[in-house]
Structure 1
Amino acid sequence: MIRLQTEDLHSGTLRDLAPDLTPMLDILFILLVFFLLTAGAVFQSLDLKLPSSVADEVNLVNAPRHIMLEIRRGSYAVDGEAIRGFEGLKFALRTALTDKPDHELIVAGDKRIAIEELLKVLTYLQSQGIEAANILMQKEIQE
């Protein structure tokens, strides 16, 4: 606490007995800064449309949003339907992409197929304007 020194120790005035207000002013200044910083905070909100019934939304969530192209040994499959030959694959892919234009394409290949088969399919996809496709790979387990 800061005290005023007078020449005479016995001549104490009312001013010498007043409390030191410096700590209180420090606390008030800190509170003022705190309130100024928190008052200027901008909160963002997001409008949500809640479903009218749970059953309708569950069906939409479970619906697949992709086309699965499997490169099997000696054949192909589009969404689980087996296809023989590369020409049949071209027709099935054109049909699937026309029916589901907003779905993404996932390519899954058997690890025993030749890399040429995968490259042939990827080249065909690129020629059809499909620039991005997800390729499924299985992580090898180190023994």
Structure 2
Amino acid sequence: MIRTHQGINTDDDLKPDLTPLLDIIFIVMVFLLLTASVKLQSLDVDLPQTDTRTLQTTQADPITINLMSQSPYWALQGAAVEDWETFKTKLVEAVKAEPEKPVVIGADKTGSVENMLKLLAFLQQNNIKATQLLMEEEK
């Protein structure tokens, strides 16, 4: 026990003040709540199903790619693109314009596996990271 020369106990003076810690926790909570909104621009496609229960939500405002089963096979940000060459050009432009945005792929389950592999190979060649493949939970 520490005593001053007047004999008064100073244990209360040595305890830490936790008020600044609470302020920081509230600031972090507000930041996380404000950045949690999800805005997804995509076409309706019949997604493949999975039994995985650990599906994650997408980050806010991603670059969305849709692969459809019928022509036009490609869509970027909800807008159909007629051919592969035009799609590649638009995708590279979109990623260069906003490189911090994640890329999300939604493929129709009856779509061509060849188109999916072509897309994945193109993304790998151009160092574009696809953060998520959209899937539906099995019912």
Which range, TM-score by smaller chain? 0.5 to 0.7
- Change in Cα spacing, 1:140 to 1:92, as seen in structure 2 (3 Å) is same
Q: How far apart are residue 131 of structure 1 and its match?
A: 3.4
Task: For 2:131 and 2:118, locate their aligned partners in 1 and report how far apart those are by CA, in whole Å.
Answer: 14
Q: 1:92 aligns with which of 85, 90, 104?
A: 90
Tell me if 1:80 matches 2:59. no
Q: Structure 1 stretch 72-81 or stretch 130-139: which is displaced more?
A: 130-139
1:62/1:132 Cα in 2 relative to 1: closer, same or farther (>3 Å)? Answer: closer
Unpaired segments of 5 or more residues in structure 2?
1-10, 40-59
Separation in structure 1 between the aligned mates of residue 65 and residue 130 of structure 2, nearest angstrom: 13
Q: Give the distance between the partners of 2:112 and 2:138, measured in 1 at CA.
A: 18
Give the Cα separation in 1 of the matches to 2:65 and 2:76.
Answer: 5
1:70 corresponds, among 66, 73, 80, to 66
Aligned equivalent of 1:48: 27
- Which sections of structure 1, spanning at least 5 residues, go unmatched? 1-34, 52-56
1:41 is displaced (CA, Å) by 8.3
Q: 1:102 aligns with which of 100, 112, 116?
A: 100
Q: Aligned letter for 1:88?
A: T
Tell me which protein shows more helix as a share of its residues: 1
SS in 1 for 2:121: helix
Q: Residues 100 and 113 of structure 1: is their aligned pair in 2 closer, same or farther, counting only changes over 3 Å?
A: same
Question: If you compute each CA radius of gyration, which structure gives the higher value, 1 or 2?
Answer: 1
How far apart are 1:116 and its partner, in Å?
A: 1.9
Higher relative contact order (CA 8 A, sep 6+): 2
Name the % identity: 23
Q: Distance in 2 between matches of 1:135 and 1:96?
A: 18
TM-score by length of 2: 0.57
Between the aligned partners of 1:137 and 1:62, the Cα distance in structure 2 is 17
Superposition pairs of residues 1-143 of structure 1, within 5 angstroms? 39=15, 44=21, 45-46=23-24, 48=27, 64-73=60-69, 74=71, 75-141=73-139
